[in-house]
């Protein structure tokens, strides 16, 4: 069984956790990157016009990925990491799941948060993707 740690990190916090986890598990590491990187202004959650705020208000927004499809055939187990934005997974995580075949794989979530609860993110992902084995 081969393991992958796939993560999205806009500020570097989740990246550090992902690197540590990949080393601990002996897993490959993959960074989920947006086609257009998030700037400091994009991440200003207090600004109603900021990109992250707009995405947080509209769950249907799917940011474009730098690399849409990833060859995941070799992996049985995937650790999927991301920061909590607006009490849920950032929309780019939905983009990644939508573009890649994760059926039949065990998906473990790990999240970073500056204070928001992480439980809602897991519930929302399980609801959005009932055919996936998300634990």
Domains of the chain, first to last: 3-134 (3.40.50.360)
> DSSP letters along the chain, please?
--EEEEE--SSSHHHHHHHHHHHHHT-EEEE--BSSPPPTTTT-TT-TTSHHHHHHH-TT--PPBSS-----TT-SEEEEEEE-BTTB--HHHHHHHHHS--TTSEEEEEEE-SSS-SHHHHHHHHHH-TTSEE-
pTM above 0.85, yes or no: yes
pLDDT tens across 18-64, in order? 999 999 999 999 999 999 999 899 888 788 888 888 887 878 889 99
């Amino acid at each position: 069984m081969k393991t992958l740690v796939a993560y999205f990190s806009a500020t570097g916090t989740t990246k550090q956790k992902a690197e540590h986890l990949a080393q601990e598990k002996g897993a490959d590491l993959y960074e989920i990157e947006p086609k257009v990187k998030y700037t400091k202004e994009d991440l200003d959650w207090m600004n109603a016009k900021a990109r992250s705020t707009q995405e947080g208000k509209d769950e249907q927004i799917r940011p474009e990925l730098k690399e849409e499809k990833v060859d995941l055939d070799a992996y049985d187990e995937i650790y999927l990491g991301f920061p909590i934005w607006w009490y849920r997974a950032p929309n780019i995580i939905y983009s990644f799941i939508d573009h890649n075949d994760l059926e039949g794989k065990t998906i473990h979530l790990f999240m970073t948060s500056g204070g928001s609860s992480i439980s809602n993110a897991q519930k929302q992902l399980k609801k959005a993707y009932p055919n996936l084995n998300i634990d």
